[in-house]
Structure formats: C-alpha cells, structure tokens
Amino acid sequence: MIEFRSVTKQYPDGTVAVADVDLVVPPHRTTVLVGSSGSGKTTLLRMVNRMVDPTGGEVRIDGTDVSTVDPVKLRRSIGYVMQNSGLLPHRRVADNIATVPVLRGERRRDARAKALELMDTVGLDRSLADKYPSQLSGGQQQRVGVARGLAVDPNILLMDEPFGAVDPIVRTELQDELLRLQRELGKTVLFVTHDIDEAFRLGDQIVILRERGEIVQRGTPAEIIASPADEFVAGFIGADRAERALRVTQVGGRQVVVDADGRPAGVLAS
C-alpha cells in the first residue's frame, strides 16, 4: 500500500505543484491519477520512487516513510514506465529490459534469459531481442518499456502516460495488454493519464485531480459516472454532453456503461 500523507511539493522556483494531498493507493489494484495538464499528477507519481522529494508531509510504502530509504535502492525496486518508453537508444531491446537487473548485480546471462521471458509476458516476439529501439514501432517500444518496468519484479509499477504517444488502435491494444497482465500479476499500479476514457478503462480506483493535486473525487469508475462530485468532474468526464451522458446499467450480471441512447460504451471489469 502506498500512502500520501499531507504531501506538499513546492519547486525551487516557488511553484506549488501539490498542496496537502492525502491519498491511499491500495495494493494489487490499479489506481489512476487523472486531471488536466499541470494538476500535479507526475509530481505525485515521482514522489513514490523519490525522483521528487516532497517539501511537506510524507509518502509511505507499506508503512515505511520513503525518505528513510536510499533513493537508488528504492528506484531499483519499483517499476517505472514513462511516455516515449525512455529506452536507451544505443542498447538492444533485451539489454534495455535487463538494465536494472544487471545494475543490481544479476549475471548478464540470467538477466537476458529473464528479459526474453518478459518479452513473452508483454507480447513481444523474441526475434526483436537484438534490435535497437529505433527499429521498433511506437507500440513495440512501449511494450519494451513495460517489460523493463517489470524486470525488477516490483510490487509497485508507476506508469506515467505510458500510452500517450501511440495511435488510438495501438493504445487500445496496450491497454488490453495491461489489463491482462494485471489480472495475472496483481501489481500495485499507479497510472497517470489525462485521458478520462483510459482512466475508466484501466482503473480500479480513479482519482480526479484539479490544480495543485487537489483531489476532487476518488472512487470506482462506476461511482464516478453514477454521481460526479461537482460540475468540474461532470465536465471532465463529459457527463454533461448529450452524446456521452454515460450511465452504468446491469446486463446479464455485468456492469455495462451505456450512453444517452442506450448504446453500450464498454463493460466495467468486475
């Protein structure tokens, strides 16, 4: 479990990115931080692995204040997947995936074998192992990024707009893949996006942020669609737009999201 306790971040130039945020991220579930640009999502995410240190409050992982943990050690125990995959361009795919295990002292051969297994896990053909990132499609690169995030066998996976830079079809494929992976692996995933549809698709818990990390609403997708907390949330999820006007209905024991005309927009994961 990750806990943000009265967390504040003021950057050296005076910008208050996040003010007094309290949030619990439950284990083995996907929590999605969603909000407009500049609302503090990335700042909150990076506080978990100490890429950003709060100027007030604390972040705890399973009860331990992360400020007491060596940042390098912490980062090597937490998966981190970012937009544009963040791969090292001069390293082959398998070496990119194996980077942190090798840094942690694993034998190169073992790390490579594990990298190949992880390629299977994320749906990448092993024949790509010796290619360079630039020889891969955007979607393949993102899969490598996810494999690299999983390479340290982390309990926590931080994902910062990981599918933001690919086209909508590939994006949907990657989302499906993450849902499948999550059913198998049950990591504690903290996922950042500004795409509310992506948030509803992936999140067990959705956290909607306004400026300075202010949490306007927190809940399951169904709860948020059923009763948006205020005008801001309603506007953000598009509930006030006639063509969206989403609601949740039960069909054959499953929760189906339908639009104003009763057309299904999707099925909520149970």
Q: Which residues bind ligand ATP (CB under 6 A)?
A: 11, 13, 15, 17, 35, 37-43, 194
Nearer residue to ligand ATP within complex by CB, 15 or 137: 15
Nearer residue to ligand ATP within complex by CB, 4 or 101: 4
Q: Do residues 187 and 151 touch, judged by C-beta distance below 8 A? A: no
| Shortest separation between residue 80's beta carbon and ligand ATP, angstroms | 14
| Shortest separation between residue 34's beta carbon and ligand ATP, angstroms | 9
- The one-character DSSP state at 249 is E
Cα–Cα nearest to 151, from 186, 126, 119 = 119
Nearer residue to ligand ATP within complex by CB, 106 or 214: 214
| Shortest separation between residue 122's beta carbon and ligand ATP, angstroms | 24
Nearer residue to ligand ATP within complex by CB, 13 or 70: 13
| Shortest separation between residue 11's beta carbon and ligand ATP, angstroms | 3
Nearer residue to ligand ATP within complex by CB, 14 or 63: 14
* Distance from C-alpha of 53 to C-alpha of 71, rounded to nearest angstrom: 10
How buried is residue 31: exposed, middle or buried, by Cβ count under 10 Å (0-12/13-18/19+)? buried
CA atoms within 13 A of residue 42's CA, in its CB half-sphere: 11
| Shortest separation between residue 201's beta carbon and ligand ATP, angstroms | 18
Cα–Cα nearest to 203, from 228, 233, 185, 224 = 224
